[in-house]
Amino acid sequence: MTATLQPITDALASENLDPLIHAALGEDIGPGDVTTEAVIPGDMTCRGKIVCKEDGVIAGLSVAARVFALIDDRIRFDPKTRDGEKVQEDQIVARISGPARGMLKAERVALNFLQHLSGVATMTARYVKAVDGTRTKILDTRKTTPGLRGLEKYATRIGGAVNHRMGLYDAVLIKDTHLALVGGITPALRAVRKAYSDTDINVEVSNIQELEQALADKAPRILLDNFAPGQVREAMQIIRRRAEVEISGGVQVSNARAYALAGADYISVGALTHSATALDFSMKVTRY
């Protein structure tokens, strides 16, 4: 039930990445950078450095490098760390050199990608650390920025999480909305098994009665939605390893370990992508 169809680097492939970068550059530069073109001579060159302004986990260096390359392939981007490594306040994460106009035009978009993806990786690493030493794995969700799912799920992997399904197409998750429309767990499971006889199935339950029905219908994986840690422990005594268990809803860094110790196989956290705070970076330049 976790996504295995796409390698972690698929989001970085040029055919996937370049359209996103072109769209971002288009909204930022439009018909031209009027300030840079007025102030900076066309033949000026400069060197620069990208500095991380706070502690965190880096993600998106190759994306930032690609932004500079698409603006001007004469710009040299020299990373001084790599995705997945911890970075500290005032650490230089890359050095850059080349045409000054191109570097200034690319700066904001490159840093926007870098700060957002590093923020996601940093948030994810906090959750992963919270459950360290348990068998519980942290999962991301589909609560992603439209158009950036591949990159954001790349960043959660860099932070130590496991990708959940990439979309509605690569795994079955029967949610409360499905159950409300078809009359419950039994008809929903019957319909899925008829349509996809060899697929894994995850069923969301919101109370003990639904849990017992899912177990009676031999659901292979059960998502306990908005269960408190004590309720999870009660549910685990009922399940007795007859199904894999995923927890979702209300999980924060401060209580993630309590959920893990209650016996969950997986904890899915929408906050990894929808609430991550950007990691702050800046670019400093000097003429040469």
Cα–Cα distance measured from residue 51 to residue 155, given in angstroms and rounded to the nearest whole number:
19
234 belongs to an annotated ligand binding site: no
Query: Binding site annotation covers 105?
Result: no
**Residue 165 assigned ligand-binding role:** yes
Q: What is the CA radius of gyration of the chain?
A: 23
Residue 204 is assigned to a ligand binding site: yes
Q: Is 250 annotated as a binding residue?
A: yes
> Residues, the chain, total?
288
Distances (CA, A) of 55 to 14, 93, 121, 132, 283: 29, 12, 12, 20, 17
Q: 202-210 long-range contacts, Cβ below 8 Å, gap at least 24?
A: 202/1, 202/171, 202/172, 202/173, 202/174, 202/246, 203/173, 203/174, 204/173, 204/174, 204/175, 204/176, 204/179, 204/248, 206/176, 208/234, 208/235, 208/238, 210/179, 210/185
Catalytic residues: 108, 143, 175, 204, 225
9 is in an annotated binding site: no
For residue 121, say whether it is annotated as part of any ligand binding site. Answer: no
Of 205, 187, 189, the residue nearest 197 (C-alpha): 189
| 45 labelled ligand-binding | no
Say if CB 138 and CB 124 are below 8 A apart.
yes
Q: Confirm or deny that 82 is annotated as ligand binding.
A: no
Binding residue per annotation — 48? no
Asked whether residue 249 is marked as a ligand-binding residue, the answer is yes
Task: List the binding residues.
Answer: 108, 141-143, 165, 175, 204, 225, 248-250, 269-271
Task: List the binding residues for substrate.
Answer: 108, 141-143, 165, 175, 204, 225, 248-250, 269-271
